[in-house]
Structure 1
Amino acid sequence: MMEMNKRLKMDLLLDLELLRTFVMVAKTGELKKAAQAIFRSQAAVSMQMKRLEELVGCTLMERNNRGIQLTDAGETLLGYSEQFLKLNNATFSALNERDLSGQFNFGVPTDYAQDFLNFFMPVLTREIPNLEAKIICDRSRTLRKKLKAGELDIAIVAGEPDYTDDQLLWSERLIWSASAQINVEELKEIPVAIYDDNCIISDLCISGLKKSTISYRQVFSSSILENVATAVHSGFAMSLLPESMFDSCKIQEVSSSILKSNSVLNMNMINSPMIDEPILTKIAECLRLASNTQRLGSRSV
C-alpha cells in the first residue's frame, strides 16, 4: 500500500493553465484583476485556485484587508511556476523556431512609447524570446500609412469608423476632465487644453466643444498628450482624456450637464498580410496581456 501511495504521488502532474492563473493572481493581488488580465470570470479564477490548492495539498494564499497574500507554500510555488511557464514557452519556441522568430517592425503611437517599452516589450521578450523587435514611434494615422507602404509589420493604432479590419486589443472611455481643485460650475468660461494633432482624440475633443452650448477659450495646445494631461492636473485647463490617464486623486470628471462624452477609444492591432496567422495570434495575446497589466495600474495614448 505504501508503495502504491508513493507511485500515485509521483504520477501527479501540475496543470500549466492553473499555474498561469496562479501567477497572475499573485502578481495582481486580487482575483478580480487577475480575471480581467486573463479574460476569465472571477468565479472561474476562484475555482481554478481551489483546484490548484487541492492538487498540491496545501493552502497557497490568504485574504485580508490588503488583498491576497501568499503563504510560504504559495511563495515557493510562485518561484517554480514562473520557471515552469518560462520553460514551456522556451520549449514551444525551440520546436517552432521558424514560426516564432525573426525581426518584426512594430509601429507604436508616440504617446505609448514609454508604456510599450515598460510593459509590452517585457511580455513579448518573455513569451517570444526569439523575436527581434524594431520599434517605430509615430501617430496612429501615420502608422497606418507606413504599414500600407510596407515599412511596418505590425502596429498599434487608435480605432476609427472607416477601418473595419483592425483587431481590437483594448478599449477605454474618453472623459472630460478638470482639476479636482476647480469648482467647474462656477466658471463663466471654460479654459480648454487641446490635443493638437491629427488623431481621433483631437477630432472628438474639438467636435464635442463645438456641439456644446458652453462658452470656452483655448488656453493650451500640445501634440503630446501627457502635456495636455499635465495642464489638466495643474488646474490650468480642462480637456478630453483617456480613462487610463484619469487620476482620481488629482482630477474630476466634468458634469455631463456641462460637457458630455459617450466616446470610447479603441486601441487596435493592424498587420501586414504577409505575417502568418499563428504568429499574429501569439503577438495579439501578448499585447492584450501587457495592456491589461499596464491598465491595472497605469496610463494611455
Structure 2
Amino acid sequence: MDLDALRSFLAFVETGSFTRAAAQMHRTQSAISMQMKKLQQDIGQTLFIKEGRQLNLTAEGVVLAGYARQIIHLQDHALANLSRTALQVVLRLGCPDDYAESILPPLVQLLHESIEHLELNITCASSSELQHLLDQGLLDLAVISRTPLSEAGYLLCHDKGTWVGVEHRDLLSQPTLPIVVFKRDCRYHQAAIEGLLKQKRAFKIMASSGSASALRGLIKQGLAIGAMANLSRNDLPALNDPHLPFLPNVEIVIIKSNAKACAISDEQLQFIAQHFRQALIQS
C-alpha cells in the first residue's frame, strides 16, 4: 500500500471530507479520489459507502483506519529517530483567544515536558480559522471546540456556554437588551442571537470581537451582558436567568495536522491530552 495514499485516507477519516483532506495534503480533490480508488484496488475492498449525502467508512474502511494509524506512526517515529541531528523541535500551535488564559498555559507546560528542545509558536484565532490554517499546513496543532457528536482530535475537556454580566447593572430589565458576542463563526454567537430572535426579545449588539479580553472589558464596565464559554469568563459572574436563551455545551480538543512534517506523533498527542484531563480533575 502506498504510504501517501494512507495519509490521504487518514486525512479523510479525520476531517470527513475529501475537500478538506485535499487541502491538508496539498493535492486536488480529483487526485485524492484517484488515490482512494487505487487504495481500494490494492486491498480488494470497498472502503467508502454513501449514506444519503454523507460519505462514510465501510466496516473494512474502519479496520484499515486502525492499521493505517499504526503504519503512519511507525514511519513518523522512524524518520524522527533517524533525523535527530537538529535538536530544536518547532511546533506551530493554534488556540482560540477565549481559551488562551485557561487551556493554553497547562497545555504549553505539558508540551514542553513531553518534547525536548521545543520551540513553540502560538497563533490565536477562532476555531474555524484555525481549522483553515491547519488544512493549509500553516499550523501543526490546534485547540478547537467540537460538537459532542464529533470524533475530531483528542479530548482535553468539556465546556458550556454561559451568560455573564456584572451585578451592579440591571441590564436584564432594559427594554432592549445590550449584548456583546464573539464573531459570527462562534457557536455562542449563533446560539445567543438565534435564541433571542426566537424569544422575540429586543436586543442590541454593542460589539462583536474575536478577543475574549475585549468582551470581558466591556462587560466589566456594565455596558452589556455577554455569551461566552464558562472557561473564558474568568472572574465575571455567571447570570443564572432562566429567561436567557440556552447556550450549547462543547468539547475542547487538540487536533493535529496530517502533514508529514509535523514534529509530534499521534501517540504523544494522545498522552498529552490524557494528562491534561487528569490534571484538570485533580485541580
TM-score of the superposition, structure 1-length normalised?
A: 0.55
Structure 2 residue corresponding to 1:98, chosen from 67, 81, 89: 81
Assess if the C-alpha contact under 8 Å between 2:196 and 2:245 holds in 1: no
Higher relative contact order (CA 8 A, sep 6+): 2
CA deviation vs aligned residue, 1:193-217 (integer Å, no higher than 9, x gap) = 1223432232222222222232222
What SS is found at the alignment partner of 1:176? strand
What SS is found at the alignment partner of 1:253? coil
Tell me the equivalent position of 2:254. 269
**Residue 282 of structure 1: CA displacement?**
2.4
Tell me the equivalent position of 2:223. 236
The alpha-carbon distance between structure 1 residues 244 and 200, as it changes in their structure 2 partners (threshold 3 A), is same
**Structure 2: segments with no counterpart, 5+ residues:** 1-79
Assess if the C-alpha contact under 8 Å between 1:184 and 1:254 holds in 2: no
CA deviation vs aligned residue, 1:131-166 (integer Å, no higher than 9, x gap) = 333323322111111212222222111214795423
Higher Rg: 1
The answer on 1:256 being equivalent to 2:242 is yes
Tell me the equivalent position of 1:183. 170
Q: Distance in 2 between matches of 1:132 and 1:228?
A: 31
**Residue 236 of structure 1: CA displacement?**
0.9
Q: Distance in 1 between matches of 2:113 and 2:153?
A: 25
Q: What are the within-5 Å matches in structure 2 for residues 194-213 of structure 1?
A: 194-213=181-200
Assess if the C-alpha contact under 8 Å between 1:124 and 1:286 holds in 2: no
What amino acid sits opposite 2:248 in the alignment? S
What amino acid sits opposite 2:272 in the alignment? I
The answer on 1:225 being equivalent to 2:212 is yes
What amino acid sits opposite 1:122 in the alignment? Q
**Structure 1: segments with no counterpart, 5+ residues:** 1-96, 297-301
Structure 2 residue corresponding to 1:170, chosen from 134, 141, 157: 157
Assess if the C-alpha contact under 8 Å between 2:179 and 2:226 holds in 1: yes
Q: What are the within-5 Å matches in structure 2 for residues 68-147 of structure 1?
A: 98=81, 102-113=89-100, 118-147=105-134
Assess if the C-alpha contact under 8 Å between 2:95 and 2:104 holds in 1: no
CA RMSD of aligned residues (A): 3.2
The alpha-carbon distance between structure 1 residues 261 and 116, as it changes in their structure 2 partners (threshold 3 A), is closer
The alpha-carbon distance between structure 1 residues 104 and 221, as it changes in their structure 2 partners (threshold 3 A), is closer
> Number of residues paired by the alignment?
196
